[in-house]
């Protein structure tokens, strides 16, 4: 035997499993998997139904959370649904009144009919004090079963995926189902007393008294706008709209950095940290990249043209200024998500995650029309999809208790009018946007339109044009077309186009007119 063959045989004898090992492995592979039942609690279901049968008031405590499909046992689901209908009709639900609906039902076994089972549930019922606990147990187990179903379908689809369903689509569908599952359990906190609401109002007024500028909301850094709105109010959906090149992204970028730059926090008696000024900002940039946004803010703070920064046309002194400003900016709590084409469900999930991990005081979406709704709404029509998006943004603002600023495009109807100032009817799909928003603001720069009507020099019209340009040069208007908490009207700001920066005008440099809704 050659040396090479002996080496190979020796290696095979050392690595190959023995016959007994092979048989054990085969036996374990053929052994049936242990059967696992879906999570459920029959005792809790019986205790809850029995409590309702004995005292119908228990149904009020359970119905705010539970639906019939949350029950594991189909008979229990049917009993719970019938109880709800009977009590909802103003009738008494007892084993006797329920008998009519279950007399012809199939017996549970040879010795127990459904009416007898109802009587047994009532006899064995405990106090209704534990009803919320039973309801929460049943609900939580139902959620676990739905999670198992979603997981199984996710695995099966991944193993045998159709050609026309890429992984991204499967991920989006799974995220949508998980988001819907998370939202199903949110029924609010119910009624609160007027005294509790008054206490919250006094606390808000006290916080405004102590905060810089005496504002009840977040300061935008633009004094005249803050005075008109009282700052950015918690739980408000604020829509900022404008035609292209009006500067709506520049304005919201200025506000975002002003809020983040002013952030100050202090430790509370319970050990938690609370913002006493400014706030942490989440910015969903669906149109521009994070680098483009950073360049805009850098140009504004360093007072260097963004075009010069992009092209590298800066001298040594300007470069040192950029470096110094960037170091100051890097510590600002401003978080940017540059993912394009996300759905309102994905945006909500990411906003919740941001608040949970880092905290959140202001959320910005640039811009609203680039968001997508669910697959169902998008298949219907665009108006329904926008309705879902604006409703979702308003719900998110209330859930996270932060102001949400959403940018929006305007229709071309503005360009057809002699006065180009926008109004509420110019909003695209204006029905839902105007209805769901707490504040609607428009950005308008008259300078942009006048500049494009420049006549020939030396003519009489040129002198008139030049006078108009001097009147509106470097100025921008923020028109508040709707505000639930205060006046509507126009605020005039300064605008430096080369730095994409909005600022405060000197007092007395303009006349402000305001009206109330």
Q: For the segment 453-510, what is each residue's pLDDT rounded down to a tens digit?
A: 777 776 777 777 777 777 777 788 888 888 888 888 888 888 877 777 787 876 655 4
State how many domains the chain has: 2
Same domain for 370 and 264, yes or no, is yes
Q: What is the extent of the structural domain holding 261?
A: 216-441
Which residue shows structure tokens 């994905």?
Answer: 346
Residue 141 belongs to some domain of the structure: no
pLDDT at 512: 43
Whole-angstrom Cα distance, residue 206 to residue 80? 48
Coil, helix or strand at residue 472:
helix
Predicted local confidence at residue 429, as pLDDT: 63
d(CA 437, CA 512): 24
Q: Is 439 helix (H, G, I), strand (E, B) or coil?
A: strand
> Do residues 356 and 248 share a domain?
yes
CB 446 within 8 A of CB 420: yes
Measured CA to CA in angstroms, residue 458 lies from 447, 450, 453, 467 at distances of 21, 17, 15, 13
CATH number of 66's domain: 1.10.860.10
Q: Are 316 and 370 in contact (CB under 8 A)?
A: no
Strand partners, 266: 274
Residue 211 falls within a domain, yes or no?
A: no
Pairing mode of beta strands 404-409, 362-366: parallel
Instruction: Check whether residue 261 and residue 370 sit in a common domain.
Output: yes
**Sign of the CA dihedral running 503, 505, 511, 516:** positive
- Assign 3-class secondary structure to 94-152: CHHHHHHHHCCCCCCECCECHHHHHHHHHHCCCCHHHHHHHHHHHHHHHHHHHHHHHHH
Q: Round to whole Å and give the CA distance between 146 and 150.
A: 6
In whole angstroms, give the CA distance from residue 453 to residue 310: 30
Question: 197-223, pLDDT tens digit by residue?
Answer: 667 667 666 665 555 555 677 888 888
What pLDDT is recorded for position 404?
Answer: 92
Final residue of a structural domain among 423, 441, 459 = 441
User: The whole model's pTM is what?
Assistant: 0.65
Helices within 163-289 (DSSP H only): 167-184, 194-210, 223-229, 248-261
Are residues 221 and 72 part of one domain? Answer: no
Q: What local confidence, expressed as pLDDT, does residue 437 receive?
A: 85
Q: Are 403 and 232 in contact (CB under 8 A)?
A: yes
Confirm whether 179 is domain-assigned: no
Query: Which residue, among 242, 347, 308, has the nearest Cα to 498 in the 3D structure?
Result: 308
Q: Quick one: residue 240, left, alpha or beta (phi over 0 = left, psi -120 to 50 = alpha)?
A: beta
Q: Give yes or no: residues 125 and 263 share one domain.
A: no
Residue 276 lies in a domain: yes
Residue 236 falls within a domain, yes or no? Answer: yes
| pLDDT-flagged residues of the chain (< 70) | 1-35, 176, 179-180, 182-198, 200-201, 203-215, 270-273, 374-380, 428-431, 458, 506-517
Residue 7 inside a domain? The answer is no
In this structure, is residue 301 part of a structural domain?
yes
Specify whether 118 is located in the same domain as 267.
Answer: no
Could you tell me if 248 and 241 are in contact, meaning their C-beta atoms sit under 8 angstroms apart? yes
Helix (H, G, I), strand (E, B) or coil at 282: strand
DSSP 289: -
229 with 105, same domain?
A: no
Residues 291 and 426 in one domain: yes
- Return the number of other C-beta atoms located less than 10 Å from residue 282's C-beta: 27
Calpha distance 283→277 (Å, rounded): 19
* Domain endpoint, select from 422, 441, 460: 441
- Asked if 425 and 302 sit in the same domain, the reply is yes
Of 287, 295, 331, nearest in space to 311 by CA: 295
Pairing of strands 264-267, 273-277: antiparallel
Residue 226, domain CATH: 3.40.50.300
The burial of 391, by beta-carbon neighbours within 10 Å (0-12 exposed, 13-18 middle, 19 or more buried), is given as: middle
Q: Are residues 252 and 380 in the same domain?
A: yes
In DSSP notation, 465-509 reads HHHHHHHHTTEEEEEEEEETTS-EEEEEEEEEGGGTEEEEPPTTS
Which of 133, 155, 181 is a domain's end point?
Answer: 133
Q: Residue 363 has what pLDDT?
A: 92
Q: Length of the chain in residues, anyone?
A: 517
Cβ within 8 Å of residue 177, ≥6 positions away: 150
Structural contact between residues 371 and 365, judged by C-beta atoms closer than 8 angstroms: yes
Residue whose token pair is 């608040």: 355
Q: Where are the alpha helices (DSSP H) in 270-428?
A: 290-302, 306-311, 316-329, 344-357, 375-380, 382-400
Whether residue 456 is contained in a domain is answered as: no
**Run of H or E residues at 24:** helix 19-30
Q: What are phi and psi of 494, to 5 degrees?
A: -85, 150
The token duo for 236 is: 């408000």
Q: How far apart are CA 400 and CA 416, in angstroms?
A: 40
């Amino acid at each position: 035997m050659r040396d090479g063959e002996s080496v190979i045989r020796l290696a095979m004898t050392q690595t190959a499993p023995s016959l007994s090992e092979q048989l054990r492995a085969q036996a374990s592979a053929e052994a049936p998997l242990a059967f696992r039942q879906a999570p459920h609690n029959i005792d809790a279901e019986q205790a809850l139904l029995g409590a309702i049968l004995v005292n119908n008031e228990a149904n009020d405590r359970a119905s705010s959370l539970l639906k019939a499909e949350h029950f594991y046992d189909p008979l229990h689901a049917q009993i719970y649904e019938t109880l709800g209908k009977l009590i909802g009709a103003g009738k008494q639900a007892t084993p006797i009144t329920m008998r009519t609906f279950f007399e012809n039902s199939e017996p549970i076994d040879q010795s127990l009919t459904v009416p007898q089972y109802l009587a047994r549930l009532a006899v064995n019922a405990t106090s209704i004090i534990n009803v919320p606990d039973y309801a929460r147990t049943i609900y939580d187990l139902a959620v676990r079963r739905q999670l198992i179903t979603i997981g199984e379908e996710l695995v099966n689809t991944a193993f045998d995926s159709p050609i026309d369903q890429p992984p991204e689509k499967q991920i989006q569908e799974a995220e949508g189902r998980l988001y819907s599952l998370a939202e199903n359990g949110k029924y609010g906190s119910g009624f609160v007393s007027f005294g509790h609401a008054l206490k919250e109002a006094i606390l808000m007024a006290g916080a405004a008294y102590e905060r810089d500028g005496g504002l009840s909301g977040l300061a935008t850094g633009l004094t005249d706008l803050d005075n008109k709105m009282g700052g950015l109010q918690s739980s408000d959906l604020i829509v900022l709209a404008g035609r292209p090149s009006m500067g709506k992204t520049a304005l919201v970028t200025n506000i975002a950095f002003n809020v983040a730059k002013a952030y100050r926090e202090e430790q509370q008696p319970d050990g938690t940290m609370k913002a006493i000024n400014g706030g942490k900002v989440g910015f969903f940039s669906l149109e521009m990249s994070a680098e483009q946004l950073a360049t805009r803010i850098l140009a504004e703070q360093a007072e260097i043209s963004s075009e010069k920064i992009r092209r590298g046309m800066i001298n040594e002194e300007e470069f040192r200024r950029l470096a110094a400003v960037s170091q100051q900016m890097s510590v600002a709590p401003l978080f940017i998500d540059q993912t394009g084409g996300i759905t309102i469900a994905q945006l909500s999930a990411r906003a919740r995650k941001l608040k949970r991990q880092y905290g959140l005081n202001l959320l910005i979406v640039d811009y609203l029309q680039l968001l997508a709704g669910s697959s169902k709404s998008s298949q219907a029509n665009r108006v329904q999809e926008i309705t879902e998006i604006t409703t979702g943004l308003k719900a998110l603002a209330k859930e996270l208790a932060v102001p949400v600023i959403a940018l929006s495009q305007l229709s071309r109807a503005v360009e057809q009018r002699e006065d180009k100032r926008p109004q509420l009817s110019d909003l695209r799909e204006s029905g839902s946007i105007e209805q769901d928003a707490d504040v609607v603001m428009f950005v308008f720069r008259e300078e942009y339109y006048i500049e494009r009507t420049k006549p020939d020099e030396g003519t009489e019209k040129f002198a008139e044009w030049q006078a108009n340009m001097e009147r509106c040069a470097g100025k921008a208007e923020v028109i508040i077309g709707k505000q639930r908490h205060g006046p509507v009207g126009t605020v005039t700001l300064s605008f430096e186009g080369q730095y994409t920066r909005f600022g405060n005008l000197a007092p007395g440099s303009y006349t402000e007119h305001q009206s109330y809704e």
